[in-house]
Each structure stands twice: as C-alpha cells, then as structure tokens.
Amino acid sequence: MIQAAEKYESNLKSGLFSSDEIKPLWTFLFISLAFSGAFLFFSFELLMPTLPVYFSAIGGTDSQVGLIMGSFTFSAFAVRIFLARLAEKFGRNNLLKIGLSICLLSTALYYWAQSILLGLSVRILHGFGFGIATTILATLVADILPRQRRGEGIGYFGLFTTLAFAMAPFTGLWVLKNYDFGHLFSLATFLCFMAILLFMTIGKLVPESVEKGSGMSGGRSEVSGFSGFYFPGFLTLLMGICLGSVICFIPLHARNINFQDVGFFYLTSTGFVFITRLFSGKVYDRLGHMWTLVPGSLFLFLALRLISSATNAQEIVLGAAFNGLGMGLLFPSLQAWMISLAPPSKRVSVNAVFFNSLDIGVGLGALGLGFIAEKSGYAMMYSSASMTMILFLVVLLTGNRLITNNNFY
C-alpha cells in the first residue's frame, strides 16, 4: 500500500495525472450553490401555474394575464444583454446578490399587486432579478467545476433545478387549494430568502474570477462568430422551439385526445430528465458533445412524433418519456459545450447567450407553432415541431464537420 501511494505521488508530480482528475466535484461550495439555485427555481416554479389564477382573480382578462406572464421573459432577456458589462462593474458575486435580492423583493410584492398595472410592473421587475440570478449562478458553478468534469457537474447541478420543476407546480397548486394566495406568496418569498441567505453564507468562498486559461478545453483562447458559442447557441434556439411546444400546448392537445391527467405527462417527462442527467454529463465529459447531442435530438424527434400521433394516454405518456430523455441529454450538453468554448472572462456572456437563445426558441415555438395549431390542428403542429430536430441534426453534423476540418477548436 505504501509503495502504491509513493507511485501515485510520483505520477502526480510528474504530471501523469492532471489536477482536474483528482479534484473533487461534490464540494461544500458546489452543493451550497446547487441548493441556492434549487430554492430560487422552486420559488419561481411555485408561481408559474398560480399567478395566472391570481391575476385573473383581480380582474385581468386572458390577454392581460398573457401580457403579464410574457413580460417576465422579455425583461429577463433584456437584462442578460448587459450582464457582462454589469459583472465587470459590480463583480459577479455582488451582481448575484443584487439579482437574488430583486427576486426576493418582487416575490413579496406580488401580494400587494392588486391591479393589472402593478402586477405587470412587479412581473417585469421579477424578470430582471431572475435573469441576473440564473445567469450569474450558472457562471459561478461553471467556474468552480473541474474542467474535465464540467459536463458531469452541470448535469448534477441541473438535477436540483429539475427536482424544483417537478415538485414546485404541484406544491403551488396544493397550497392555493388548501390555503390562499397569502400563504402561497409567503412560501415563495421564504424560498427566495433561503437562496440569498445561503449564498451570503458562502459568498466569501466563491471566487470572483478564475485564472486565464483554466476554463478552456483546448485549442482556442477566444470566442468569435460561427466557430464560437453562437453555433451551439443556434442549436439551443432550435431545442427551445421544441420545448415551447411542450410547455405551451400539451394541455390543449391532451384535452383534444381526452387525456385528463396532464400533470402525469409533465411528471413522467421530468422523471426521465432526472434519470438521464445522472449519466449524461459523464458521457459528455468522456466522449464529447456528439455522443449526447445526436441521440438527444433523435429522442426528442421521436417524442414529438409520438405526441403528434397519440390517440390515448399510453402513447402520449410514452412521448413524455422520450421527451425527458431528449431534454436530459440536450440541455446540459449544450450548456457545457458553450462554456467549454469560452475563456473564463466570457462565461457571463456565454450563459447569457445560452439562456436568451432558449427563451427566443420557446417564444418562437409558442408563436409559430400556435399559428400552425390554429390552422391545421395540434397533430400537425407537433409533426412540424419534430422537423425542427431534423434541422438540428443537419446543422449539428454539418457544422461539426466544418469546425473539425478547419480546426476551429
């Protein structure tokens, strides 16, 4: 045993093992940031199915409720454009505190937003805070992860938010059914408070920046144009279009085929996302992005085709399972890939591009696919959405070949 230890130490000193290979993943800092993110997302998801009910109860029309809910995405998108400059001015740690504080304030203010105008104002404010907090939090997590285990780490970090996505909507509806809006907003505010309290506790341990060169997976020292993170950013947009079809139209499509338990669809999908994220990061780290993106896009294509042709509960739930498999492979892999292409100084910008690409895709999916559904029905709409994954595959394979041939990275 002593000889083995001496050999290991000798190999380490000689550089046979990299520091990343022995650097632990589940550090106190990583776990704390993951729980902080889970509290934030749980608070956010509590309100997603319940805020429309609240604003409708205070006199909002369907269009007004839609405007209020949609304004959140717009403000989150807008603030991300300026995050890189804001991070340089205030520092990333301080900026995260600001974002979390805005989320805390706006969540508490919903209770007093007793008019449509006030509700719109608070929702816009909440979008600013959430856009800041989620982007900076993802950047800090990427900074503390070992380079060669970054895909695995991002996958595990996503497990915490996946649990929030799975549990929070049901929790919010249960609180609203058994108590009232006051208790609902109090719970959401408390969770935001826990997120900021946890980060304040570990804030001094979080590095404000990382050393240059520590974040690249090899090859390039800067990001630009097609050869940089805009290529996976476009793929993220295409994934967002498919995600938008599932988020926005599954309840309506399910009603058409007499599938009553829509919640079970989302629960099944989330369950398979959770399972897939347990191993997708390791596959990404060891084999590369093509080994997760190609099967992920095929799973998502199959999911949308199954949903399109579904006529009963079994078929649409099977579609939910494949949707979870696809999203569980695509989402963390695209994010990890984009981060790996960027030097540390660009990570705020990279995460902003990732989340904005996703938001644009979801928005385009809701708008364009909604038009198709209105004209041709939901079956045709989901069939059309599945073709987005064919385009995804074509762009991925073509772009990856161009990048490889030209040695872009």
Q: What tens digit of pLDDT does each residue of 316-338 get?
A: 999 999 999 999 999 989 988 88
**Averaged pLDDT for residues 34-63:** 88
Percent pLDDT > 90 in the chain is 38
- pLDDT tens-digit map of 257-303: 888 877 788 889 889 998 998 888 889 888 888 999 999 999 999 99
Is the pLDDT reported for residue 1 higher than 60? no
166-179 pLDDT tens trace: 788 878 888 988 99
Task: Please state, in angstroms and as integers, the Cα–Cα distance from residue 278 to each residue in 25, 217, 267, following that order.
Answer: 14, 22, 17
Q: What is the pLDDT of residues 105-136, one digit of tens each?
A: 999 999 999 999 999 999 999 999 999 999 99
**Residue 101 — very low, low, confident or very high, per pLDDT cuts 50/70/90?**
very high
pLDDT in tens, 214-249: 444 433 334 444 346 678 999 999 999 998 888 778
What mean pLDDT comes out for the span 343-360? 85
Residue type, 356: N
User: Could you identify the residue written with the tokens 């300026």?
Assistant: 82
Which residues are within 8 A (CB) of 275 and not within 5 positions of it... i.e. 6 or more apart?
324, 328
CA angle (214 as vertex; 231, 154 as ends), nearest 5: 60
pLDDT band at 75 (very low <50, low <70, confident <90, very high): very high
| Alpha carbon distance 49, 192 (integer Å) | 18
Query: Taking the CA atoms of the chain, what radius of gyration do you get in angstroms?
Result: 22
- Of residues 207 and 250, which shows the higher confidence score? 250
How far is C-alpha 375 from the geometric centre of its chain's CA atoms?
A: 31
Distance between CA atoms of 172 and 219, rounded to whole angstroms? Answer: 47
List, in order of start, the domains of the chain with CATH numbers: 26-205 (1.20.1250.20), 230-406 (1.20.1250.20)
405 confidence band (pLDDT: 50, 70, 90): low
Structural contact between residues 182 and 112, judged by C-beta atoms closer than 8 angstroms: no
Higher-pLDDT residue of 199, 342: 199
Q: Judge residue 408's burial from the number of C-beta atoms within 10 Å of its C-beta, 0-12 exposed, 13-18 middle, 19 or more buried.
A: middle
Put simply, whether the predicted model's pTM sits higher than 0.85 gets the answer no
Mean pLDDT score of the chain = 83
> How big is the CA angle at 278 (ends 273 and 279), to the nearest 5 degrees?
110
DSSP code of residue 144: H
